[in-house]
Structure 1
């Protein structure tokens, strides 16, 4: 009990303190326009607290300089299984997506082994899991890589990729669904987002997303788990409205979105 009291005492009782990137749309930004900002507003409302942000670029040192420094108490979106944080239960499962012109010859493609992708120039975030599938299917030679870890205040690889696709510099783009889906919904009506749910070989392309708290903060973790469980429908509504492709827990089917 004393240990639990000590760890939970690190969590503010006066504000819902969120660690976030100030320029990471569609997830978060300083204006509050991202869907993670809206999730933070929802959780703060349920807790009866104001939101207070600690802003730091989502790059090397993010957790060390925010959560571990006790400057904030929760990261709104963190992949399940990351050892830098203690994960809550997941509140969404999503997947990497193939993004193509809606009326083009790739609009019916659903897997990276599709012959119609042969010889095409595909944009890919360097080092991301779909790159392994692209290499296996002979698509890397003509691929256009974009940086994985950047300071989004100065560089935006996902937005650059979609601009290049619209301009015809690449034939298709592969993006993490919670990034690509909202960006396309916001500004690219002529593009189609195709969830890559049918890849059977590793690595899998769907991931469960949790909230991240400090290691040892079991009391706080349980409180957030309870909030996730009791407010899942409202969480889903925020994500679906943003354009995030949501999957079932096993990553085998979409739910809740217009398809």
Structure 2
């Protein structure tokens, strides 16, 4: 997220707001078509679901179809009875211009609500930045960056992400270890590096965007503890709603995606939980597999 996270989404905003006006000025092939009938008529090819994605950015997406955005795209394609195809491009400067804006694809599977580079759908996920610690450590029940037990600790933080402001306000930056925000995901991963450093003891804890934290902490041996930072009382917001991104002109397509999200939320939640994503309801309570499971 951007303006937001330490995974892929942070790079979205950094890419430049100028792209927003350019995309909004780009006409859709179906802009003058009537709204009735097949709402997917605005797609580049109405028979193909073309997804804009990063080829190497797990747990979100990769070119092997192993990310949770890949799995949600597969579910969407199945529901729409369309063939699934991808336009891959690293999530960095030029991502929207070279994919959605160039009409090489029709949807970005993960896009933060409130950002205005492109048009967003209704959200399918609410999650937050999280503190990652070792289970059994003196920090495992810390729930806020204002906790005095963090004083003097070495804490990993992705540079220029919102939690860095809270860390600075609480005097935690002197011993912090920064990790790069803008990276080439083909050869590097700040999240993987941070999780490795927590496991080895090089740092005492780390702050990561929730989906990155949950996935990599689950892969660690032993698994690490992930605590969403929903108790912060000052500084930038820590929680975000994530939907999908489409071109500004594609109103019918947006409506179809909103319908898909509404009708398939249980299945979407199950996919996200399988990747360790810390899902939150509107009251900041965790959404678990038990909550998601359909009632008999």
**Shorter-chain TM-score: what band?**
over 0.9
Q: Tell me the alpha carbon deviations over residues 29-80 of structure 1, each in whole angstroms, 9 at most, x when there is no partner.
A: 1111111110000000000012100010011110010000000000000111
Q: What is the CA–CA distance in structure 1 between the aligned matches of 2:42 and 2:244, rounded to whole Å?
A: 19
Q: Is the contact made by 2:42 and 2:252 (CA closer than 8 Å) also made in structure 1?
A: no
Q: Which runs of 5+ in 2 are unaligned?
A: 1-29, 35-39, 291-296
Is 2:85 aligned against 1:57?
A: no
Select the residue among 30, 47, 51 that pairs with 1:14. 47
Q: What is the CA–CA distance in structure 2 between the aligned matches of 1:118 and 1:105, rounded to whole Å?
A: 12
Q: What is the CA–CA distance in structure 1 between the aligned matches of 2:33 and 2:211, rounded to whole Å?
A: 36
Q: Once structures 1 and 2 are overlaid, which stretch shifts more, 48-57 or 183-192?
A: 183-192
Equivalent position of 1:126 in the other structure: 159
Q: What is the CA–CA distance in structure 2 between the aligned matches of 1:255 and 1:200, rounded to whole Å?
A: 22
Distance 1:211 1:54, change over 3 A: same
Is 2:33 aligned against 1:5?
A: yes
Select the residue among 126, 137, 142 that pairs with 1:93. 126
Is 2:285 aligned against 1:253?
A: yes
Select the residue among 93, 112, 116 that pairs with 1:83. 116
Select the residue among 220, 223, 226 that pairs with 2:253. 220
Q: Is the contact made by 2:107 and 2:244 (CA closer than 8 Å) also made in structure 1?
A: yes
Q: What is the CA–CA distance in structure 2 between the aligned matches of 1:216 and 1:9, rounded to whole Å?
A: 9
Q: TM-score if structure 2 supplies the norm length?
A: 0.83
Distance 1:112 1:70, change over 3 A: same
Select the residue among 236, 253, 258 that pairs with 1:203. 236
Q: Tell me the alpha carbon deviations over residues 188-229 of structure 1, each in whole angstroms, 9 at most, x when there is no partner.
A: 434111111111213110000010001111110000000000
Q: CA deviation at 1:155?
A: 1.2
Q: Once structures 1 and 2 are overlaid, which stretch shifts more, 220-229 or 183-192?
A: 183-192
Secondary structure at the residue paired with 1:70?
coil
Secondary structure at the residue paired with 1:3?
coil
Q: Is the contact made by 1:245 and 1:257 (CA closer than 8 Å) also made in structure 2?
A: no
Secondary structure at the residue paired with 2:165?
helix
Q: Tell me the alpha carbon deviations over residues 100-137 of structure 1, each in whole angstroms, 9 at most, x when there is no partner.
A: 11011111111100010000010000000100100110
Q: How does 1:25-174 map to 2 (within 5 A)?
A: 25-174=58-207
Q: Which runs of 5+ in 1 are unaligned?
A: none
Select the residue among 207, 216, 234 that pairs with 2:267. 234
- What is the CA RMSD across the aligned residues, in angstroms? 1.6
Q: What is the CA–CA distance in structure 1 between the aligned matches of 2:175 and 2:190, rounded to whole Å?
A: 18
Q: CA deviation at 1:12?
A: 2.2
Q: Is the contact made by 2:273 and 2:279 (CA closer than 8 Å) also made in structure 1?
A: yes
Q: Is the contact made by 2:270 and 2:289 (CA closer than 8 Å) also made in structure 1?
A: no
List structure 1 segments (4+ residues) > 6 angstroms apart after TM superposition: none
Q: TM-score if structure 1 supplies the norm length?
A: 0.95
